[in-house]
Amino acid sequence: MDEEYDVIVLGTGLKECILSGLLSVDGLKVLHMDIEN
């Protein structure tokens, strides 16, 4: 994976989902990962 991201969010709880959604709407490239995967 040679992608570059502005932010990496670990976890898929409510707070993490809201955070990654807000950051992506703001134009940042977000990698959102679950710790189990």
pTM score of the predicted model: 0.77
Q: Kindly list the domain boundaries of the chain, sorted by start residue.
A: 1-37
pLDDT at residue number 2 = 75
Q: Position 29: which residue type?
A: K
Tens of pLDDT, residue by residue over 6-18, are 999 999 999 999 9
3-state secondary structure the chain: CCCCCCEEEECCCHHHHHHHHHHHHCCCCEEEECCCC
pLDDT at residue 37, rounded to an integer: 61
| Partners of 10 in the β-ladder | 33
Give the mean pLDDT of 12-35. Answer: 95
